[in-house]
Amino acid sequence: MKKTGSNIPSPANAPNVDAPSEPIERARLQAEVAKQRVRIAKEELKRARKRLKEAKREAKRARKLADSARKVWKKARRGARGTAPAGKGATRRAKRRTAPRRKRTAQP
């Protein structure tokens, strides 16, 4: 149904006509809420940065541990290789070691 002009309330019948400060109060409250949101977002960002730093520290520790474990494994493997019985496998390894190695090119 089409709205007519008679359905629009007149300024005399409108509630809170004597309170023009309501929009100002509403704007003030909205600004306050926005400030709270900003504060909460900043706190979350701080916490996220702390988590990131801790994760980086943990990754660094893990890399160090993996590196030391790899070194121990290589050392044990080299030690075991020296005590291996001379057989078919030992001659193959010797042939492979005597083959010339290609130089690695630096990747950008």
Residue 64: per-residue pLDDT:
97
| Close Cβ partners of 16 (under 8 Å, ≥ 6 residues apart) | 22
Per-residue pLDDT of the chain (108 residues; tens, 9 = 90+): 555 655 555 555 555 544 567 999 999 999 999 999 999 999 999 999 999 999 999 999 999 999 999 999 999 999 888 775 555 555 555 555 565 666 666 665
Residue 60: per-residue pLDDT:
97
Residue 82: per-residue pLDDT:
76
Residue 38: per-residue pLDDT:
98
The position carrying tokens 């010797």 is 94
Residue 92: per-residue pLDDT:
54
